[in-house]
Amino acid sequence: MPEPAGEFLSGRTARATARRAVDLIGALLFEETSAESVRQVLLSHGEREPLELAAADIVRLRATARELLPVFGAAGADEAARVLNSLLARACPPRLTSHGGSHAWHLHVDSTDDAPMDEWILTSSSLALAVLLAERQQVPGGLCASPRCGRPFVDTGSGGPRRYCSARCATRERVAAHRREGGGPR
Ligand SMILES: [Zn+2]
């Protein structure tokens, strides 16, 4: 039985695909980018070897990351939906693929199994983020409120809106606020 990698559209896989988008955006726009760093992100999200990325792939993936970022920066669900609809307008009709039997049947909205990686990332990420938006009627994430960070994050929690990308950023900003209020070490 082939493993169900990349299966759509359960909430679980939509969240995993959205997290892949966030990690890719981080590697492409918020860190020193190399083909190897991007390759490692894709491998950590279930892509399989051989996975080769050329410099041109990185340039195109970076453009894709810039297009996905405004979804996370949207002021509300309406704005996020508008951005996602403009991205989904470039997707192809949903189709089932098993990649020749090597995976379980799952949905793709790119043009072919051999479509360029940036097309696949743009369309699958947009679909996943759209599923999450529809599920919670909210922006499916946000941008880290730390002025030193600004990275996107996926927010699927049921509590209040999340402000920071990580515990690290939340702690750093809490300490900084404490210092500003004069409560820091003397
Ligand atoms: Zn952060």
Mean pLDDT of the chain: 91
Q: Would residue 5 count as lying in a domain?
A: no
Q: What is the value of pTM for the model shown?
A: 0.90
Q: Are 24 and 39 in contact (CB under 8 A)?
A: no
Q: Would residue 141 count as lying in a domain?
A: yes
Does pLDDT of 2 surpass 50?
Answer: no
pLDDT, greater one: 6 or 104: 104
Whole-number percent of the chain with pLDDT over 90: 80
Q: Would residue 113 count as lying in a domain?
A: yes
For residues 59 and 62, give the distance between their C-alpha atoms in angstroms, rounded to a whole number: 5
Distances (CA, A) of 72 to 4, 55, 147, 154, 184: 27, 26, 16, 8, 33
Q: Would residue 118 count as lying in a domain?
A: yes
Q: Which residues contact 33 (CB under 8 A, 6 or more apart)?
A: 27, 58, 62
Write out pLDDT tens, residues 127-149. Answer: 999 999 999 999 999 999 999 99
Q: Of 84, 54, 56, 66, nearest to 26 (Cα)?
A: 66
Q: Of 65, 22, 31, nearest to 156 (Cα)?
A: 22
Show the domain range for 76: 11-180
Q: Domain of 39: which CATH number? A: 1.10.3300.10
Whole-number percent of the chain with pLDDT over 70: 92
For residues 22 and 154, give the distance between their C-alpha atoms in angstroms, rounded to a whole number: 7
The alpha carbon of 30 and the centre of ligand 1 are apart by a number of angstroms equal to 10
Residues within 5 A (CB) of ion ligand 1? 144, 146, 149, 151, 165, 169
Q: Would residue 62 count as lying in a domain?
A: yes
Q: What is the pLDDT of residue 16?
A: 93
Counting the structural domains of the chain, the total is: 1
